[in-house]
Amino acid sequence: MAERLPYIVQPMTLADIDRVLEIEQLSFSAPWSARAYRFEITQNEHSTMLVVRPAASRPVVAARWLRLLSPGVREPVLGYAGFWLLSEEAHIATIAVHPEWRGRGLGELLLLSLLEEAMESDARRATLEVRVSNTVAQALYRKYGFQTVSRSKRYYADNNEDAYIMATSPFETPGFTDRLRLRRAELRSRLRQEAEAAGPHPQRIQKESH
């Protein structure tokens, strides 16, 4: 039997919204509202929203985090992500990880999970926007096959920063699935090695949300 990962990725539920909003407000200058997330979860049939949390069997959560749990939720949400399936294209709308948990590979795990969900949903490729200044996120996206296809002027309303439009090659392109399989194996190894470091981590990877 394959060794379990110290984190699990699951569909976002209504019970997760309060925690998601906390991370949202810590991550973005124009955060989504609770109403927006309720819509994505309950009404938008084109939306896939995921959360990442510690696996219940792994002691990777400090005791102070346990006080943040909502009733009925065994482990806290550490990050979340989502895409919209539009005309066979999976548009990644948001990825965010709590500041104290960034740099541990959770954003990468969410990105990989989105791509795998998109492929299972019969999407042909994935797209996203990213701030031109966010070179760390761009490097992660390129690691998973995204390439810059255009630049959108003054895309972000908070500071009028440009955005790069990035997209993968079609998922059926030879080698794309093999790339994901290799990245997943590498990430599984990293997550297992880093799972014991449950305290705040200084490295931060910013993600984009719209």
* Residues with a known catalytic role: 129, 141
Measure the CA–CA gap between 89 and 204, rounded to whole angstroms.
Answer: 29
Measure the CA–CA gap between 133 and 170, rounded to whole angstroms.
Answer: 26
User: Which token pair is 12?
Assistant: 């976002």
Residue whose pair of structure tokens reads 């948990």 in the numeric block: 101
Q: What are phi and psi of 96, to 5 degrees?
A: -155, 145
Let me know: does 142 contact 167? Beta carbons within 8 Å: no
Picking from 101, 117, 102, the residue whose alpha carbon sits closest to that of residue 46 is 117
Let me know: does 55 contact 7? Beta carbons within 8 Å: yes
User: Which token pair is 104?
Assistant: 């541990």
DSSP string, 107-165: HHHHHHHHHHHHHHTT-SEEEEEEETT-HHHHHHHHHTTEEEEEEEEEEETTTTEEEEE
